[in-house]
Amino acid sequence: MSEVSKSSSGNGFEPRIVGFFCNWCTYTAADLAGTSRLTYAPNVRVLRVMCSGRLDPQFILDAFRKGADGVLIGGCHPGDCHYQAGNHKALRRYTLLKRLLKTMGIEEERVRLEWISASEGDKVQRVINEMTEDIRRLGPLRLPPIPHAGRMPGEAVERVSSIGQETGL
Amino acid sequence: MSKPKIGFYWCASCGGCDEAVVDLAENILSVVEAVDIAVWPVAMDFKRSDVENMQDGEMVVTFINGAIRNTEDREIVEILREKSKYIVAFGSCAHLGGVPGMGNLYTRESILECSYSETPSVVNPEKVCPQGETTVPEGVLTLPVLEERVWTLDQTIEVDYYLPGCPPPVALIVDGVTAFLTNQLPPKGSVLGPKHSLCLDCPRKDTKPENMLIKEFKRPHETEIDLETCLLAQGLLCLGPATRSGCGAACINGNMPCTGCLGPTDSVRDYGAKALSGIASLFDAETEADIARIADRIVDPAGTFYRYSLPGSLFQGKVFQKEGARS
């Protein structure tokens, strides 16, 4: 994920929301909202995932770290998961993550999980408008930048270099 | 020709990492045979000026344990970085922040307030609090100053390798030191340990159910723990699935669940988020109320999942909304 683009206009704060939408329901519903010419707040950057169960909690934290003010997760209604139980897993992770985020000082409204079926274009409109207003009230998140003198843990696999030829030992 | 020099240094740590070096037992003899230990404050006398007077890169490798908590930690590791060809972050605190890193859930001011005033056993009516500089009749006295938050070593200086664990297991230290002695170093930035998670090496892995589901979490003091069955299957919150192997399942062998001190495997960026993800997906519940009931039993999610890795995580600590509360 590259840095979430800035969309502040003038002095007014425009929330930046990252949406992780399930391919089989919410993403299709967002398409429906578009083809139905529903207008809604332009504050959500939608990322399509194959299932809300694919959503690693790291993605959510990373979105915040990279400048998001809120994260919206859209999945299939319980019982409707294309992969049977992906949305249940999403709900379990979301429940525990919300508790963690509370300890970390993140307001509850900044992460939202909604079940939106492929036919609910109007719900996409309503949820996005609501969440945009909720976060507008909260203001920006402003995570401090990550200091980085060396590498980040987890990047070792990507860094293949051949130092260590001569250690002098 | 003189022997190559190596160093050990401690920052915000408990001393357990230095103890782990002592635990090398007779293995340490082969180390001492091959190298000169130039710096090791816990075991030997040395002065800051001794290090300052070294040539740049004079030491081949320095193993630094402990998190960066105050200005002295920062100053010394910056000097050691210049004097050492390689820096190894030694142990959880240097690697990911460790237990002292939990301090990042609080502001510096609230930590000082708690330690010097609020704690019931503290009697401090004059509210004496450590200052960076204090003027006394004889002159100005100085003390290291507590930083705004806890930092990992690689947030402070460039780090070449990581030895994970709280403390690093002896086997990993031996392998790591041997890698230096025999010139067989992995790519820069590597964590010197196995690449897989603990479950793969767990002596109880054969008792892991095919489809693991947990109805209720129990804390170790609340249940009689079977000596042979997978701890997660018994409802104990074991973080083995998310944690790098290399410890020989020491805690499991002591009949206690893994708390995650070796940190994540190479493919994971944020240990706590990934561990939380794995544990939450095991909840045997589908409705919001049932899921919440199971989650209620994990009373301290931040302390459970970020016990050793908060400063090195994506959030690095609590987000204090007040401007200027965090550096």
For residue range B218-228, list pLDDT tens digits in order.
999 999 999 99
Say yes or no: B95 contacts chain A, CB-CB below 8 A. Answer: yes
pLDDT value at position A149? 58
pLDDT value at position B92? 98
CA A60 to CA B273: how far, in whole Å?
9
Residues of chain B with pLDDT under 50: 322-327
CA distances from B283 to A58, B176, B256, B293 (A): 19, 38, 21, 10
CA A103 to CA A105: how far, in whole Å?
5
Amino acid making up residue B167: P
pLDDT value at position B321? 67
pLDDT value at position B32? 83
CB contact under 8 A, B314 and A62: yes
CATH of B5-99+148-181, one of 1.10.287.610, 3.20.20.190, 3.40.50.700, 3.90.220.20: 3.40.50.700
Structure tokens at B111: 């930590």
Chain A residues whose CB is inside 8 A of the B313 CB are 61
Half-sphere exposure of B210 (CA within 13 A, CB side): 0
pLDDT value at position A3? 52
Say yes or no: B289 contacts chain A, CB-CB below 8 A. Answer: no
Q: Which residues share a beta bridge with B139?
A: B136
Where exactly are the structural domains of chain B? 5-99+148-181, 110-147, 198-296
- Segment B286-308, tens digit of pLDDT: 999 999 999 999 999 999 999 99
**Full pLDDT tens readout for chain A, 169 residues:** 455 555 444 458 999 999 999 999 999 999 999 999 999 999 999 999 999 999 999 999 999 998 999 999 999 999 999 999 999 999 999 999 999 999 999 999 999 999 999 999 999 999 999 999 999 999 999 786 676 655 444 443 333 222 222 333 3
Say yes or no: B63 contacts chain A, CB-CB below 8 A. Answer: no
Look at residue B149 and give its three-state secondary structure: strand
ipTM (interface pTM): 0.91
CA A41 to CA B151: how far, in whole Å?
39
Q: Packing angle between helix A86-103 and helix A57-65, nearest 10 degrees?
A: 40
CA B271 to CA A144: how far, in whole Å?
20
Return the number of other C-beta atoms located less than 10 Å from residue A76's C-beta: 24
- Segment B134-192, tens digit of pLDDT: 999 999 999 999 999 999 999 999 999 999 999 999 999 999 988 988 889 999 999 99
Non-local CB neighbours of A56 within 8 Å, separated by 6+ positions:
B273, B274, B277
Chain A residues whose CB is inside 8 A of the B300 CB are 103
Q: Which fold has domain A16-144?
A: Rossmann fold (3.40.50)
CB contact under 8 A, B280 and A96: yes
Nearest Cα to B41, choosing from B18, B60, B23, B12?
Answer: B18
CB contact under 8 A, B327 and A151: no
CB contact under 8 A, A105 and B4: no
pLDDT value at position B27? 82
Where exactly are the structural domains of chain A? 16-144
Adjacency order of strands within the sheet including A17-22? A44-49, A17-22, A70-75, A111-115
Question: Exposed, middle or buried by CB within 10 Å (0-12, 13-18, 19+), for B186?
Answer: middle
CB contact under 8 A, A61 and B95: no
pLDDT value at position A166? 30
DSSP state string for chain A: -PPPPP--BTTB----EEEEEETTTHHHHHHHHHHTT----TTEEEEEES-GGG--HHHHHHHHHTT-SEEEEEEPPTT--TTSSHHHHHHHHHHHHHHHHHHTT--GGGEEEEE--TT-HHHHHHHHHHHHHHHHHH----PPPPP-SSPPTT-GGG------S----
CB contact under 8 A, B277 and A99: no
